[in-house]
Amino acid sequence: MTSFDVLVIGGGIAGLSAAAALSTHARVVVLEAEAAPGYHSSGRSATFYHLGIGDRTVRALTTFSRPFFEQTSHQGAPLSTPKAALWIARSDMIEGLNKLYDGMRMFSDQVHHVGVPEMLDLLPVLRTGPEAIIAGVVDETGRKLDADALQQGFARTLRRNGGQIETGVRVDSITREHGAWLLQSGDKAWRAGVVVNAAGAWADQVARLAGVKPLGLSPLRRTIIAFDPPEHIETRDWPFVKTTVDEFYMLPEGGRLLASPVDEIPSDPVDAQPEDYDIALAAYRVEEYTTMNVSRIAHRWAGLRSFVKDRVPTAGFAPDAPGFFWLAGQGGYGLQTSPAMAAASAALILQQEWPPVLAELGVAPEHVSPGRPAIAS
């Protein structure tokens, strides 16, 4: 049996970022069930940073994280690149667009309304007109994140500080004895004072294994397709574009375009695969909101986004289990809030000062606590 101060279950972006933050003051090990970290949600995300998702707390966590993404990797490559985000609206979406604008402006003065000419300058294939798109909002703070560089950077920090990552580990049992947690997987065992449950869609299952009350997570499947743009059209500078209501988003990626119908299909915690209907719906949405035709889909995939009732990420010790720390429910903003959630987790676990910038942005521990009234059943 090997002993650590903190054991993190789950090697996605949430688990790795928290482990990296903790490793400066604690002995940390990350246990990942798959053959490599980031296999599930973290590796299937559209990896885009913007202020147009979530509530005020999520936007504050996103804003806190931005300076981290503006850094470069250890090799000097950027962790992200600037790319505008464009929200589009038909006439029946204007009220929602204005509400979205107000929410984003609380955190950035680089958010502004745009009309049809400006939108067509950004995205020439946008379908506009009285029965189509008539208004938009642009967030100039948008950034395309490099998920691989982020995950590798967190893993490198963890290892540099003496931490470990063990893959292919499926935990069989979690018990608490003499003030510590004991974890077993086959003939291997670990002991730690604190267990961080960063198991994504499987976090409630991990809690049950430990005899801890589940959070009530809802894993939801999201589908993405990749297709080639029309010939002789350069898409590299196109923005991330999304409808004000959750029907469609699209962004350029590696010479192709990615698109999603922004589906949220309830699912068990599984290795998510795309369904034919959702693939077809993604292609239909492209043709509905742009002047392009999707003649061939080059690639398609799906991932799970797990939420609690109020759709705010959770970080905090379980009220019913000493030393059991929840880091779950990141939904569709796990990547873009990971530096903030890691900083919050490290402060709570190490009993350090709550990050002052988070406090200035209006986020307190109770806003992300697993015991908050909004998610208590």
2-45+147-215+310-368 and 84-141+218-307 have identical folds: no
Its CATH class, for the domain covering 84-141+218-307, is: alpha beta
Q: How many CA atoms lie within 13 A of 132 on its CB side?
A: 15
pLDDT at 377 over 80: no
Helix (H, G, I), strand (E, B) or coil at 113: strand
Predicted local distance difference test score (pLDDT) of residue 2: 94
> Could you say which architecture CATH assigns to the domain 2-45+147-215+310-368?
3-Layer(bba) Sandwich (3.50)
Domain boundaries, the chain: 2-45+147-215+310-368, 84-141+218-307
Alpha-carbon distances, residue 350 vs 192, 236, 324, 342, 362 (angstroms): 14, 43, 13, 12, 21
What are the tens digits of pLDDT across the range 340-374? 999 999 999 999 999 999 999 999 999 999 999 99
What are the tens digits of pLDDT across the range 145-156? 999 999 999 999
What are the tens digits of pLDDT across the range 11-42? 999 999 999 999 999 999 999 998 887 665 45
Predicted local distance difference test score (pLDDT) of residue 44: 56
pLDDT at 43 over 60: no
Predicted local distance difference test score (pLDDT) of residue 36: 80
What are the tens digits of pLDDT across the range 247-276? 999 999 999 999 999 999 999 999 999 999
Give the whole-angstrom CA distance, residue 276 versus residue 294. Answer: 15
